[in-house]
Every structure is written in structure tokens, then in C-alpha cells.
Chain A
């Protein structure tokens, strides 16, 4: 029973390129969350999605960042025109229902993005 699968594990992009991070939730989980960990900081919420819907994107930077969770396939976090400040570890998590009182997250192993 595979957990949350993220790929790639490591991604190097030059400034100005696009980064695409993929996340397949745990089987049976329809709620997906993306978090970012900047150097020396804790995990910070970015976006919460269910199939084909963005539920809450209040933690996403307004420009260059987008996320989707299509009917078929993994959730994608897309960063356009990357800058050095985007270098971070990006974690995906999933839950069977909205996480909070009774459900926590099952995390993926993260994608470490380095912008050079």
C-alpha cells in the first residue's frame, strides 16, 4: 500500500525556468495539501485541493505559483519563472477527509528544489 508519492525527489532549475512538482496521494485519499519548508523555517501551508477543486490557496504566492489536482493523475504544483528564493523543500500530504480533528496528514518525502 504505497503512501504519498512525490517526484522528483530533487529538482534543479535555472532562474527563469519552470518547475513542476508531482504528488500522488495515498490510495483512498482525496484531499491533498502542499507545504513549503524554506531554509531554517518550519513547514508553511500553501494550498489545499480536492479532486478538480482548489479549496484554499491562501498560502500560495500570488504570482508564478499554481496548483491543480485533476480528475485523473497526480496533483501538480507549478512554479513559473523560478527565482533563487523559491529554493526550498516542497511537501505534499494527503488525508481521507479534511484533516484536523480526527485525521492528520500522510506526508510524502518531499521535493527539494534548487534554483541556480
Chain B
């Protein structure tokens, strides 16, 4: 069993604010880390796959960094918009399965 933790559990920000949240994982036997965005009543949607220590990925206003030595990844959202409201999941593949964190629920207040 792989313990994947995300913090904070939930977050409320004003429109236009930048924000970030954390995914923590055991640094031993790291293989890859996946970030997903999950809007209410929809299916989780892939954001990033990160594999190398020091990786930085960017998609529009969303970016992510990876530190495999200390076992964490940050997801950043610059200038949050109401459409960014969703739950953000990280997941680590091990063997035939992914271990998911419980997610960070982001609400952007207009």
C-alpha cells in the first residue's frame, strides 16, 4: 500500500488569486506521478504526467513541479478563475494500479 497524501483538503480563493497545493508520497521506489482535474458530475481528466526529479510541467495557468528526493509535488494555479473550481487528484502508479490521494477541492469565488 502506498500512502499518498494531499493538502489542504479544501481551499476557497477569490477570483484572480494564485494558489497552490501539495501531493506527498514516499520517495522510495518512485516511478511516476499523475495529476488529474475532477469537476463535479464529470470524470477525472488528466493534467500532467511527471517522472523526473525537478520536472516542471505547464498547461495554461496551471503548472506542477516534482521533487522525488523529498517526496512531494506542487500544483500551482495562477490567477484562479471560477472554471478552475474542481477537485485536483494526484496518483502514483505501482504495479498494476494507481494509488490516489483524496484530492484537494478548490472553489474559486467570483
Contacts and interface: CB of A to CB of B under 8 A. Distances in A.
Contacts of B96: 45, 48, 55-56, 58, 98
A104 B43 contact: no
Contacts of B43: 3-4, 91, 107-110
Interface string A77-116: 0000000000000010000001111101111111000000
A43 to B, nearest CB: 4
Contact of A45 (B42, B51, B97): B97
Nearest to A40: B102
Given A56-B96, A91-B43, 8 more contacts: A35-B100, A42-B103, A99-B98, A101-B93, A107-B36, A107-B45, A109-B41, A109-B43
11 contacts: A3-B43, A43-B98, A45-B97, A45-B99, A91-B44, A101-B32, A101-B93, A104-B34, A105-B34, A107-B44, A109-B41
A110 B44 CA distance: 10
A100 B32 contact: yes
A69 interface: no
Given A104-B49, A106-B46, A109-B43, A43 B93 contact: no
Chain A interface residue number, banded = 20 to 34
B62 to A, nearest CB: 16
A14 B23 CA distance: 38
Interface of A: 3-4, 33, 35, 41-45, 48, 55-56, 58-59, 91, 98-102, 104-110
Contacts of A107: 36, 43-45
A37 B12 CA distance: 24
A99 B43 CA distance: 17
A102 B49 contact: yes
Interface centre among B32, B43, B45 (most CB of A within 10 A): B43
Given A41-B102, A100-B31, A100-B32, A33 B44 contact: no
Interface in B42-90: 42-46, 49, 51, 89
Nearest to B47: A104
Contact of B98 (A45, A58, A102, A108): A45
